[in-house]
Amino acid sequence: MAHETQKAIARQSLLLKSLPEHQIDKLLSHAIWRRYDRGETIFLQEEEAKAVHVVLAGWVKLFRMAPTGAEAVVSVFTRGESFGEAVALRNVPYPVSAEAVSACEIMHFPSPLLLSLMREDPEIGVSILASTFTHLHSLVAQLEQLKAQTGAQRVAEFLLNLSDKVSGGCEVELPYDKMLIAGRLGMKPESLSRAFSRLKPVGVKINRNHAEIADIQRLRDYAESDSSEK
Amino acid sequence: MAHETQKAIARQSLLLKSLPEHQIDKLLSHAIWRRYDRGETIFLQEEEAKAVHVVLAGWVKLFRMAPTGAEAVVSVFTRGESFGEAVALRNVPYPVSAEAVSACEIMHFPSPLLLSLMREDPEIGVSILASTFTHLHSLVAQLEQLKAQTGAQRVAEFLLNLSDKVSGGCEVELPYDKMLIAGRLGMKPESLSRAFSRLKPVGVKINRNHAEIADIQRLRDYAESDSSEK
DNA sequence: GCCACAACTTGACAATTGTCATGTCATCGC
DNA sequence: GCGATGACATGACAATTGTCAAGTTGTGGC
């Protein structure tokens, strides 16, 4: 990928986009760029945070290992999204591990640099808070889903988030492995399979990583319907 | 409660404790103090955030209403803890609602004040990020629990968090309603009852809001054991 | 092109959890 | 003190999900 393209993607990221031009340039000039292969570890839980990470291409999963060995996927990031903000500025260990789930290109901003820029211009603090808030919000949304929705409903919401259409039918591509989707939604791959087949009567056809939704609104109604009235 | 006691509690809060004396004084002098009755609403989901909140006494729950009407408890706060940091500084609507679950005393810091102090001293930004990170972390821990542990194991962890002992036996008080505990742990009250009885063989006796743990370590082993090997 | 492997799908079964119904117990107003 | 109410426990039943075991199907290596 061309160097300039990478910078352009980084500029559009939630973390940087609201910053003044000269701050972005300074950050970009000190950023470290790296390529990761599929399956490669980006950092490990308990490791001390030294940078904030912005995904330029590919997919990254954040996950936690329970003492039992069970893996819980916390979030999945792609192009333009950043992670590690809240941790990097506090010299505390990461609460999660990060792994490339596809080949990835990632930009790292060293945290001392961020801290010093922040002392010059508190606006950067607000930017960091902004993307941290986005994560907070998405975690809250996930908690709500896990606590208040059935498996099939969570899958329905996942599909809905892949499309930006408001009504009518559409086709979407599943962005990553079904195993990872299952993990992200807090279920086993077998349950995901069953959830997909339970969505057939609502007008969802799955073929490989390709999904056809007959009627977005019908799917949305299903996702928001009370589980007891089905 | 005496005014000075309130201020002392506020000073010890995660949000304020790492700030320089004069900043704390400035914040405290502009803070709004209020008492809430049990069941009273502090703010509603979708409402615009105007302040950061610090609990001085009592218990507050943050929860989300799913479109289906189901309620998902996101977190429960008590003395010294703060909430709403990430939202207040960005003029965005709250992603959750807040309600007093017991009689409460809460201090509110208007967000414009925080913003202006932050421009003077970026250290405040770091403090806010610190408490935001704590929430982020606790949400991540909750997600892990929900995804990777059984109901009884989540209850075991909840009990373990109530005690600061490392080994041996102990007695703890359940800090709030079993209904709320159930919600906080993502289950129905009935399931909580069953989870409690499933903990009997591990040395846990529940009587009203009083719990006896025969051996902390045994309970910890149970909480961390693989669910398949039971 | 063939083999091995991993990613699925499906079925049968067990365990867990939600739902509904019923019963007990403490608290509160009167 | 008495009845009403809400919190909680428990049993029966249904629905959901995890687990285990097959079987299918791409994909990549050779």
Give the model's pLDDT for residue A2.
66
Q: Which of A14-23, A91-100, B73-82 has the lowest mean pLDDT?
A: A14-23
Residue B195: which H helix or E strand, with range?
helix B189-199
Q: What is the mean pLDDT of residues B66-76?
A: 89
With contacts defined as CB-CB under 8 Å, which chain A residues touch B73? 147
Q: Name the burial class of residue A46, with classes exposed (0-12), middle (13-18) and buried (19+) by CB atoms within 10 angstroms of its CB.
A: exposed
Instruction: Mutate one of B48, B139, B181 to test the A interface: name it (highest A CB count within 10 A).
Output: B139
Q: Which of A121-125, B29-33, B209-213 has the lowest mean pLDDT?
A: A121-125
> With bands split at pLDDT 50, 70 and 90, how would you rate the model's confidence at B230?
very low
Residue B168 region, left (φ>0) first, then alpha (ψ -120 to 50), else beta? Answer: left
Give the model's pLDDT for residue B187.
96
| Res A230 pLDDT > 50 | no
Q: First-to-last CA distance in chain A?
A: 49
| Res A119 pLDDT > 50 | yes
* Residue in chain A lying closest to B148 (CA): A70
Q: How far is A209 from chain B (nearest CA, A)?
A: 24
> pLDDT for A192-211, tens place per residue?
999 999 999 999 999 989 99
Q: What is the mean pLDDT of residues B38-67?
A: 93
> For the stretch A99-126, what's the b/e string if a residue is b when 16 or more beta carbons lie within 10 angstroms of its beta carbon?
bbbbebbbbbbbbebbbebbeebbbbbb
Residue B142 region, left (φ>0) first, then alpha (ψ -120 to 50), else beta? Answer: alpha
B146 closest CA partner among A47, A102, A154: A154
Q: Which distant-in-sequence residues (6+ apart) come within 8 Å of B44 by Cβ? A: B94, B97
Residue keyed to tokens 């999204």: A81
Fold of A149-229: Arc Repressor Mutant, subunit A (1.10.10)
| Res A155 pLDDT > 60 | yes
Arithmetic mean of pLDDT over chain A: 91
| Res B229 pLDDT > 60 | no
| Res B89 pLDDT > 90 | no
Give the model's pLDDT for residue B226.
76
In chain A, domain spans: 3-147, 149-229
Arithmetic mean of pLDDT over chain B: 91
CATH of domain A3-147: 2.60.120.10
Q: What does strand D contact on the protein, if contact means CB under 7 A? A: A 150-152, 186-188, 190-191, 194-195, 227, 230; B 177-179, 189-190, 192-194, 196-197, 206, 209, 227-228
Q: Which nucleotide is nearest to A179 (CA to C1')?
A: C7
Indicate the pairing of strand A82-83 with strand A51-57.
Answer: antiparallel
Percent residues over pLDDT 70 in chain A? 97
Q: Give distance CA B67 / C1' D3 (Å).
A: 38
Q: Which of A147-156, B88-97, B117-126 has the lowest mean pLDDT?
A: B117-126
DSSP state for residue B150 in the 8-state scheme: -
Let me know if the fold of A3-147 is the same as that of A149-229: no
What three-state secondary structure class fits A89?
coil
Residue type, A204: V
> pLDDT for A124-153, tens place per residue?
888 888 899 999 999 999 999 999 999 999
Q: Which two tokens stand for residue B122?
A: 């970026």
* Residue in chain B lying closest to A75 (CA): B140
Q: How far is B156 from chain A (nearest CA, A)?
A: 14
Q: Tell me how far CA of residue A164 lies from CA of A3, A185, A194, B37, in angstroms.
A: 30, 20, 25, 43
Q: Give distance CA B161 / C1' C7 (Å).
A: 40
| Res B53 pLDDT > 70 | yes
> pLDDT for A12-45, tens place per residue?
998 998 888 888 998 999 999 999 999 999 999 9
CA–CA distance, B110 with A86 (Å, rounded to integer): 22
CA–CA distance, A124 with A24 (Å, rounded to integer): 10
Q: What is the CA radius of gyration of chain A?
A: 19
